[in-house]
């Protein structure tokens, strides 16, 4: 079986629709699939035939459990994706680490590999990624492509236009890694990749209006309408520095007062505690101190919780999403000050507003790497257009 993504025949728009529907929602019977896509039986047969022949889809038993001979009509043979037929690498590059995962076509993580990053020189970073890819290729010979998530502005899913965390400008990361690995590479803003993964395979699957809000080293926001992520120019340019939540709130080291960044990000929370106490505490230590009633930690975490509540309420009021996913390495805040968040949300919404579905996911960097792998699946296998 061919396993190199670049050698697969491009999917037609109709084939792509069928493949995505089965990938995200399958296994699906042909009847259900035709209904979902508004296709005739003949059209569906024409579209699924090349997908089956390529090994992307397979017919599976219907799983009804009915004894043989008791079912009437043609036996049902639902279609499913052959999840293990191809595997994908996803990388999340941070300031000091490269986190890697191997996923199946359905984005299930089957391996992890992390390595420290001691330099931000683009060629050496590409070398690090390539060495990790080589280690994993030895274990997973069906590796078909690489997705890389980077905090910052990414152009054409190939060039890192600007990354403040890495100090990069106009780095052709996809080309650098492709030369070293021989595999096709997709590069994307890390939040955009994470939102895509949650839309297809996570908390937003099957939803029409869905929002992702991430807090950690920064604040990320993703909006999904009609089941598709909505692109916007500022998504990878640190817009949260200008999202003012409390005009009288704390300052960041760079001078933003009361912004989402100054209130919610881990570096800003640590900065506030350090400036007030002289103690350089970890985020986990600050949360523990707040839970124990330590005054300064409790004040800073309380401000953060109220800021998060205002932010969630603003999103709910204007977007009216079916669900908001709070994710990122900073959402441990909810465990300590969740009641404050809830009370603030209610205070900033209409008393008769419908209950808000908020899901919390404490995401580690492997989740972000998984998002990059999903981008590779979308682009390299399915040919999903850039958004």
Can you give the three-state secondary structure of 247-306, one letter per residue?
A: CCCCECCCCCECEHHHHHCHHHHHHHHHHHHCCCCCHHHHHHHHHCCCHHHHHHHHHHHH
> Which pLDDT score is estimated for 64?
43
Does the N-terminal peptide bond of residue 364 adopt cis geometry, omega within 30 degrees of 0?
no
- CA 80 to each of CA 21, 83, 143, 186, 199: distance values in angstroms, whole numbers, following the listed order: 10, 8, 20, 25, 19
Please state which CATH class domain 205-363 belongs to.
alpha beta
Domain boundaries, given as residue ranges, for the chain: 5-81, 86-196+367-381, 205-363
What count of residues does the chain have? Answer: 387
pLDDT at residue 110, rounded to an integer: 95
Q: What is the pLDDT along the chain (387 residues), one digit of tens a residue?
A: 334 444 456 778 888 888 888 988 888 988 899 999 999 988 988 998 888 888 888 888 765 433 344 344 444 689 988 888 889 999 999 999 999 999 998 899 999 999 999 999 999 999 999 999 999 988 998 888 999 999 888 999 999 999 988 999 999 999 999 999 999 999 999 999 999 999 989 999 989 999 999 999 888 899 999 988 988 766 555 566 677 888 888 877 667 788 888 999 999 999 999 999 999 999 999 999 999 999 999 999 999 999 999 999 999 999 999 999 999 999 999 999 999 999 999 999 999 998 999 999 888 899 999 999 999 998 877 776 554
Pick the closest to residue 369 from 133, 134, 64 (CA basis).
Answer: 133
pLDDT at 175: 97
The residues, any chain, with a CB within 8 Å of residue 349's CB and separated by 6 or more, are 313, 316, 317, 356
Task: Give the per-residue pLDDT at 13.
Answer: 84
- For 5-81, CATH number out of 1.10.10.10, 3.30.70.1560, 3.40.50.720, 1.20.58.1180 equals 1.10.10.10
Residue owning tokens 């996570």: 202
pLDDT of residue 117: 96
Same fold, 5-81 and 205-363: no
Number of C-beta neighbours around residue 52 at 10 A = 13
Contact criterion met (CB below 8 Å) for 363 and 328: yes
CATH class of 86-196+367-381: alpha beta
Q: At what angle do helices 333-347 and 283-291 cross, to 10 degrees?
A: 70
DSSP state of 129: H
Residues forming beta bridges with residue 169, ordered by sequence position: 162
**Predicted local confidence at residue 170, as pLDDT:** 96
Predicted local confidence at residue 71, as pLDDT: 45
State the DSSP code for 230: P
């Amino acid at each position: 079986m061919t396993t190199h993504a670049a050698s697969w025949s491009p999917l037609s728009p109709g084939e792509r629709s069928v493949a995505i529907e089965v990938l995200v929602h399958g296994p699906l019977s042909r009847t259900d699939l035709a209904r979902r896509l508004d296709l005739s039986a003949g059209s569906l047969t024409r579209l699924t035939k090349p997908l089956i022949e390529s090994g992307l889809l397979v017919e599976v038993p219907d799983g009804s459990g009915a004894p043989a001979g008791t079912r009437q009509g043609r036996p049902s043979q639902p279609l499913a994706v052959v999840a293990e037929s191809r595997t994908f690498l996803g990388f999340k590059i941070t300031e000091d680490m490269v986190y890697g995962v191997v996923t199946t076509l359905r984005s299930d993580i089957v391996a992890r590999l992390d390595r420290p990053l001691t330099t931000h020189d683009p060629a050496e970073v590409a070398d690090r990624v390539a060495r990790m890819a080589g280690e994993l290729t030895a274990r997973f010979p069906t590796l078909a492509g690489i997705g890389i998530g980077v905090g910052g502005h990414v152009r054409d899913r190939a060039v890192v236009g600007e990354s403040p965390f890495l100090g990069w400008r106009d780095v052709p990361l996809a080309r650098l890694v492709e030369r070293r690995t021989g595999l096709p590479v997709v590069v994307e803003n890390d939040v955009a990749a994470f939102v895509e993964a949650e839309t297809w395979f996570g908390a937003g699957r099957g939803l029409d209006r869905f929002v992702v809000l991430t807090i950690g080293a920064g604040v990320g926001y993703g909006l999904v309408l009609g089941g598709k992520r909505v692109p916007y120019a500022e998504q990878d340019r640190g817009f949260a520095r200008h999202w003012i939540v409390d005009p009288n709130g704390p300052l960041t080291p760079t001078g933003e007062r009361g912004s989402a960044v100054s209130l919610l990000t881990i570096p800003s929370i640590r900065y506030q505690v350090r400036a007030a106490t002289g103690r350089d505490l970890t985020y986990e230590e600050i949360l523990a101190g707040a839970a124990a009633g330590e005054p300064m930690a409790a004040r800073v975490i309380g401000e953060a919780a109220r800021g998060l509540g205002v932010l969630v309420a603003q999103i709910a009021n204007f977007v009216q999403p079916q669900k908001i996913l709070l994710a990122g390495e900073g959402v441990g805040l909810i465990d300590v000050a969740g009641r404050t968040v809830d009370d603030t949300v209610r205070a900033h919404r209409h008393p008769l507003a419908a209950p808000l579905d908020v899901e919390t996911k404490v995401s580690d960097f492997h989740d972000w790497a998984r998002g990059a792998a999903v981008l590779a699946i979308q682009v390299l296998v399915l040919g999903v257009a850039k958004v």
